[in-house]
Amino acid sequence: MSKPGKQPDPEHRAFFGRRSGKRLHRGQKTLFDDLLPDLEIHLPEQGVIDPATLFAGHPDRLTIEIGYGGGEHLARKAVEQPKTGFIGCEVFTGGIGKLLKAIEADNLQNIRLFAEDAYDLLTRLQPNSLDEAYLLYPDPWPKTRHHKRRFISPTTLDALANVLKPGAPFHFATDIEDYANWTLAHILRHPDFFWPLTEPGAWHEPYPGWQPTRYEQKARKEGRLKSFYFTFLRR
């Protein structure tokens, strides 16, 4: 059952480590100062956010991408689906800067950005308000002592299930087999998600229309030749 204003779990740990790497160059700094304030989502002190109200007009659909990296997937989807409202969550300043550059270049009007922990936003969005979610190549936190920082957990799946509409797809991709197994185990135990039956090995086939991200291209060069592409559904 959906719960309005779902309270954050005090045991939740941020799934990201650092927020910045190299210093922003002048063009990125200008975009942070001039463009980001018009696109950034701020949480209200109380209550929930109806994500449809974040966009001019009324989008036909609402999609969230958690940890969009350099933003190439999110920007491409926004171009392909101009009537869909996209919410991008990313804390790394370099990735935010790259996406802002793409937004400016293509004059994208259907993207809004959240620059804090995505879990905090999920707990404040209106229940049953999102049509689709993506989590592509999240940090696998490979060391066992760091597994608690992986985004996929019972706590985050609870929050994600609360905001997705029944039947909404949740797309997950990774090139780390251990994280693929971890995610499947959590999904199969969660009462609000299920994994539709697929042909053996089909999870190595990219999504229709998929274009490799920079991270994926880097993984191939480093010898990680297979990825796992899962689509789960909200019950």
Whether the CB-CB separation of 19 and 91 falls below 8 Å is answered with yes
Query: Is the Cβ–Cβ distance between 162 and 121 less than 8 Å?
Result: no
- Could you list the beta-strand ranges (E) of 6-137: 61-66, 84-89, 111-114, 132-136
Cβ pair 132, 63 in contact under 8 A:
yes
Under a CB-based contact definition with an 8 Å cutoff, are residues 20 and 93 in contact? yes
Helix (H, G, I), strand (E, B) or coil at 8: coil
3-state secondary structure at position 69: coil
Q: Which residues are within 8 A (CB) of 148 and not within 5 positions of it... i.e. 6 or more apart?
A: 13
> CA-CA distance, 101 to 126, in Å (whole number)?
29
Please report how many Cα atoms fall inside a 13 Å half-sphere around the Cα of residue 26, on the Cβ side.
0
Q: Single out the catalytic residue among 139, 175, 178, 192.
A: 139
B/e letters for 158-185, b = 16+ CB within 10 Å, e = fewer, are bbbbbbbeeebbbbbbbbbeebbebbbe
Known catalytic residue at 38: no
Residue ranges of E strands in 50-121: 61-66, 84-89, 111-114
Active-site amino acid positions: 139
